[in-house]
Structure 1
Amino acid sequence: MMRQSLIIYCDESDDKGEFYSHFYGGALINARDQSTLTDLLNLKKEQLNIHSEMKWDRVTASYKDKYIEFIKYYFEFVRDGRIKLRIMFTQNINQARGLTDEHIGNDYFLLYYQFVKHSFGLRYCNGGHVSTQVTLLLDDVPQTSSKFELFKDYMSSLSAFPIWRQARVTIKKDDIASINSKAHPVLQGLDIVLGSMQSRLNEKHTRPPKPRARRSKRAVAKEAVYKAIKDEIWSLYPNFNVGTSTACAKGVEERWSHPYRHWLFKPNNSIQDLKRGKRKKPH
């Protein structure tokens, strides 16, 4: 019986997309693996002759193969459980009702709260451990320092959530920080996966922007990187539809045990507006 320390790297992308919005991603590791994973991923970048930060937005035709090789290496750690990846997003056809100005103004933090609270299944993480301490490292928080302080208060209150308290899982306010992803290759890998999902689901790299008849070389390169990521996911969950939530066929404990999961978040009391979907009615 012992204590464990976990780190969750957090990122977000595309507040508003054409079909899907509010993309949030997390990469969970054991704190004892942080240094090793950082060194190994940085070494891989050196071998690929990549000396700058890796991001989905930086995928180009000339770097396509390097990104594919890096992401295949990254998923080796996902498969062996040293990195757990979670992706959350909303679908625009599900429209929330009864939102106040406060809800709308704080949606960034409110959705992060839901993401951390549920997507990793932390209530099931303890197993034979006495307790678990969780550190949250968020990529470049786009908020004022005062708002971020309020967010840390709000997020650390999860420790008082009855189910978490019973499971002996805590997040201390001092263990929530905004970081620069340049120094964290685990977060860079997450950015690539998260960016590929928002790009694919919003059809950014799959069709040419009007009035062009062809896609750019960069869009074709991004499609190749996305397909490499999809193949890695399908090696874990054959034929998984990336626009849906990952099932828990053997019980909700799989929210913790699975190496990779998606969560299509549907707000409470939401209604469907099919005009916001991909299959629009003809005029």
Structure 2
Amino acid sequence: MYYYIWCDESDKHGEYYSNFYGGVLVKSEDYDFVLRESAAFVERLGINEEIKWQKVNEHWFDKYSKIVDFVFKLLSDGKIKIRIFFRNNQYVPVGLTREQIRKEYPMLYYQFIKHAFGLQYSNQTQEPVYIHLMLDDIPLKGSDKEEFKNYIFRLNFDESFRKANIHIHKDEISEVDSSKHIMLQFMDLILGAVCFRLNNKHKIKDQATGRRGKRTILKEKLYKHINSRIREIYPNFNIGISTGCNDFSDRWTHPYRHWAFIPTSSIRDISLSKGHKNSPCTSTE
């Protein structure tokens, strides 16, 4: 059994929320079906270029809305799982060494892979499960990139992974081109929308006109459509907090989840909250 996981990231430093990571998981038994149906659906829509949140405009809006519906159909059918990870800027980590700050990316990614999907609760058999991890545009070079892969590889020695018989081969921790992976493009659309809303980008106005641009309005409309589909799964869904669970196994069984990461050692700075901090008005048109 394989779990194929595609990972994307968005704002590293946002106005209110930072360190956005998103992942899509497909089990090997669904892999061919999901990729085949996804490619066919996008082809029927007449889309022949990369799907990206930043491309939302009048031309693409209706087609992107249909893609959102397609993605949530895959979720409701149990064919894929989606996880979103981010850090609320109010919770400021304390006591970090210079080296820990430098290694923020691999340390947070390690936490995301280890916990977000609840992989530890996924394997009820005695058969081994292998993870094929595909990451879009790793922002590291040379020895730092190799060290990052080693960091993720060390999950093999985590007790919970060993008990669940889950394994990651180093050569299956790979950097991939999102233009060639439809799951990453779907992820970019969902993750971009979440980041857009949490960092109040829907309120951005053009400095010259004092009004919101057409694309900003359309992006907010598409975000609301995504939010409505999430609320079909979780009626009381709150975008800015971790999705609740009744049992640890829900981390695996739930189709869609958010994780608002709070560092173990942190202090809360209310001045960094939306209620206390004003965002500059700059256009993203």
The TM-score range, normalised by the shorter chain, is over 0.9
The residue that corresponds to 2:83 in the other structure is 86
The one-letter code matched in structure 1 to 2:271 is K
Deviates more, 1:139-148 or 1:61-70: 139-148
TM norm structure 1: 0.95
Residue 114 of structure 2 corresponds to 117
For the 8 Å contact 1:7–1:29, the answer to whether it is kept is yes
Aligned position for 1:163: 160
The answer for the alignment partner of 2:226 in structure 1 is 229
Match of 2:249 in 1: 253
Aligned-residue offset at 1:194:
0.5
Change in 2 beyond 3 A, CA 1:147/1:189: same
- Equivalent residue, structure 2, for 1:277: 273
**Aligned-partner Cα distance in 1 for 2:77–2:203:** 31
SS at match of 1:41: helix
Deviation sequence 1:118-172 (CA, Å, 0-9, x none):
1110000101352211111001112103222111111111011011111111111
Identity %: 42
CA contact (8 A) 2:10 2:19 kept: yes
Measure, in 2, the Cα distance between the counterparts of 1:53 and 1:70. Answer: 13
CA distance in 2, matches of 1:31, 1:206: 41
CA spacing shift, 1:108–1:209, aligned 2, 3 Å: farther
Instruction: Tell me which residue corresponds to 1:103.
Output: 100
Name the counterpart of 1:262: 258
Q: Which amino acid aligns with 1:156?
A: F
Structure 2 vs 1, CA of residues 133 and 195 (structure 1 numbering), >3 Å: closer, same or farther?
same
Q: Distance in 1 between matches of 2:29 and 2:148?
A: 26
Q: Distance in 2 between matches of 1:209 and 1:279?
A: 22
Moved more, 34-43 or 22-31: 34-43
Normalised TM-score (structure 2):
0.94
Aligned counterparts of 1:32 and 1:281: Cα–Cα separation in 2:
47
> 1:176 is matched with which residue?
173
Structure 1 unaligned regions, length at least 5: none
Q: Deviations over 1:179-210 (max 9, x none)?
A: 00111111111110001000000011234254
Matched, 1:42 2:23: no
Distance 2:50 2:209 in 1: 30
Compared with structure 1, are the counterparts of its residues 227 and 95 closer, same or farther at alpha carbon in structure 2 (3 Å cutoff)? same
AA partner of residue 271 (structure 1): I
AA matched with 2:82: L
Distance across 2 between alignment mates of 1:51 and 1:162:
45
Instruction: Determine the C-alpha separation between the residues in 1 that align with 2:225 and 2:99.
Output: 40
